Chains A and B, each alone.
Chain A
C-alpha cells in the first residue's frame, strides 16, 4: 500500500498540474463550443508555445513566465491567420474538411519543429529566484505555474462574461444567424475566437515547459489530454473546464501512483465520459 503522505502529495501535485490542463483545455473548449470545430492541432500549438518560451529563455535568459506572453502573441496571430486563410474556406461545409485541414496542420507543425529543433527533449528553467518561497513539499515551479494558469482562466472567463466582445462571442456561439442580424461580424468573431483559443494553448505550453520535457511529438498526447478535460467539463463551459482540468490532473497522478499507468488513465476517463455522458459532467452540450 502507498503511504498516505505520498498519496496526499500526489493529489496536491495533481491539482497544481490540473490548473495548467484547464488552461490548455480552455482554448480547445472555446473553439469547439463557439465554432463547432475540434482543433486537432491544439496539442501541437501548445508544443509550439512551449518551444517559443524555451528558445527565448535559451537565447536571452528571459523567464518563461514572460516568454509566455510572446507565445500567446505569436499563437494569437497564428490562430487568426489560420482561420482567415484556411479554415474560413471550409467551415460550415461538413466536418471532414476542417478535421483534415487541422490534422494536416498538426503534422506540419510537428515536423517543422523537428526540423528546426531536432527531436531531443528540451525543458526550461523557471528563471526567477525562489529563495523567498517555501511551502514545504509544494514544488515552487508547480505552485507558480498553477497560480498563473488559474489567473489566466479567470481573466478569460471575465473577458467572455463582461466585455462587449465577450458578449458578442457568446451571442455568436448561441445563434450565429441571430448574431449577424444584430450587427455582429461573425467572421471576425470566429477569427478572434480561434486566436484566443490558440493563444491559450501557447500560454499553457510555456507553463508546461517549466515542468516537463518537451519534444516535437508531445502534441497528440496533450491534444487527447485536453480533450479529455473538455469532455469532462462540458464543451464551452469555463468553470466546467477548470473542474475537468483538476480532476484529470489528480486522476493522472493517482493512476501513476497506484496503477503505474499515467496516460492511459486520462484516456480511459475520456472514453468513458464520452460514452456515458457526452455533454460533460457540468456541461450544457455546447450551447454556450
Chain B
C-alpha cells in the first residue's frame, strides 16, 4: 500500500472534499439538459467528449509516455463503426444488422480497441519520435482509405446517422438522451482510467515512461503496458467518437477522422497538465471556453473595427493560432499545466503553514511527514519529462 500512498497525485485526489466535489459536479452536469438550452447542452456535451479524449490520450502519452499523434483515427473509427450499426443501410449493409444505439456505441469503442490491439504489437516497435510520426502516418492512411471507400463512409459527402432516442410524450429530446449516455461514458472513462493510474498498471506505465530499459530490467514488460495503455485509450476515444457521431447525427471522413481532433486533444491535455490526472478535466473545460469563447471575442473585435468579412474561417484560424501559441508556451514554461500551477500553489501554501496545519489536504493528513508536500511537487514534475537528469 505504501507505494500507492506515495503516488504523485495522492495529495489532491484522495481528499474527501474533492470526491464530494466530483459527485456534485456530476449531479450538476446531469441537470444541464433539464435546466438549460439545447445549445448549451451541446456545448457541455462537447466538453465531455473532450474530457474523454483528453483523459484517454493522457493515459497513453502522459502516463505511458507514448506520444501518439493518431488519436483522431480511433475517435473516427469508433464513430463510423457505431454509425454502420445503427444505420446499416447507409453503407449498404442489411437492415438485420441494426443494433440499439447503446450497443452500437459500445461496439464502436470495442472496434477501436481491437484495431489498437492488432496494431499495437506492430507500431510499438517504433520508439519516441518514430512512434509519434508513425501514428501520424497511420492516422493519415486510415483517413485517406476511409475517404476513398465512398460506399462505406459516404466519402466527402459524409454519412447520415438515422437515430432518434427522444422519448415520446416527455420533453426529452434525442440530444438529451445522448447527453446522458455521454455523461455516463465520461464518468466511466474517468473512473477506469483513475483505477488504472492508481493501481500497479499505472506505476508500470510510469516506469516505462521514465526509462524503458530500466523498467524492462526490473521485470516490467514495456510492450505489455504500452499496448495496455494504447488499447484502453483507443477504446475510450472510439466511444467518444461514437457518442459524438450520434449526437451530431452526421459524420464525415474529412472531419471526423481529421487531425483536428488530435490537435484539440493535445491542447486539452497540455493546458490542463500532461501526466496529471485532474489536468485533462481542467483542460477540457478551459478548451471549450477557448474554442467557443475566442471566436465570439474575436468576432466582436472584428465587428468593432469593422474588419472586412470577419468570416468564420478567419476567426477559426485565429483561434487555432492562439491555441497553437498556448500549447507552445505551456509546454515550455508550465509543463505541468493548470493542474500543476494549482497544485504547486496549494502545496507550497500548506507547507508554509506547517505540518500541523489542520485541514491539510495531503494524503498523509495532518501531522504527517512535512516533506510530503514538496515531494508530491517533485513527483508531479517527473511525470512530464525527467528534468532532474
- Enumerate chain A interface residues (CB-CB to B < 8 A): 32, 36-38, 40, 86, 89-90, 93-97, 99-101, 103-108, 111-112, 114-115, 118-119, 220-221, 223-224, 227-228, 261, 263-264, 267-268, 270-271, 274-275, 278
Contacts and interface: CB of A to CB of B under 8 A. Distances in A.
A38 B137 CA distance: 14
A226 B137 CA distance: 12
A103 B266 contact: yes
Contact of A96 (B65, B133, B136, B328): B65
B325 A108 contact: yes
Given A96-B67, A224-B140, A271-B138, A107 B385 contact: no
A60 to B, nearest CB: 25
B138 to A, nearest CB: 7
A32 B332 contact: no
B314 to A, nearest CB: 6
Interface residues of B, number: 46
B385 A115 contact: no
Contacts of B327: 100, 103-104, 107
Given A32-B129, A111-B317, A271-B138, A101 B324 contact: no
Interface in B307-333: 313-314, 317-318, 320-321, 323-328, 331-332
Interface stretch (B120-128, B152-160, B182-190): B120-128
A274 B134 contact: yes
19 contacts: A36-B129, A95-B128, A96-B384, A97-B385, A99-B67, A104-B324, A104-B326, A104-B328, A107-B327, A111-B318, A111-B324, A119-B313, A224-B133, A224-B140, A271-B138, A274-B126, A275-B123, A278-B126, A278-B130
B387 interface: yes
A36 B129 CA distance: 9
B108 interface: no
Contacts of B266: 100, 103
A contact patch SS: helix
Q: Which among B130, B259, B323 has the highest number of chain A CB atoms within 10 Å?
A: B130
A267 B141 contact: yes
Contact of A115 (B314, B324, B384): B314
B367 to A, nearest CB: 36
B229 interface: no
Contacts of B263: 103, 107
Contacts of A95: 67, 128-129, 132, 385
B126 to A, nearest CB: 6
Contacts of A271: 134, 137-138, 141
A115 B318 CA distance: 7
A100 B331 contact: yes
Interface string B62-81: 00010101000000000000
Contacts of A261: 144, 148
B332 A268 contact: no
A45 B105 CA distance: 40
A221 B141 CA distance: 11
B335 interface: yes
A274 B135 CA distance: 11
A210 B383 CA distance: 47
Contact of A101 (B61, B129, B331, B385): B331
Interface in B85-139: 122-123, 125-126, 128-130, 132-134, 136-138
Interface string B189-212: 000000000000000000000000
A48 B323 CA distance: 20
Given A93-B385, A224-B137, A267-B141, A104 B129 contact: no
B44 to A, nearest CB: 25
B278 to A, nearest CB: 19
B336 to A, nearest CB: 12
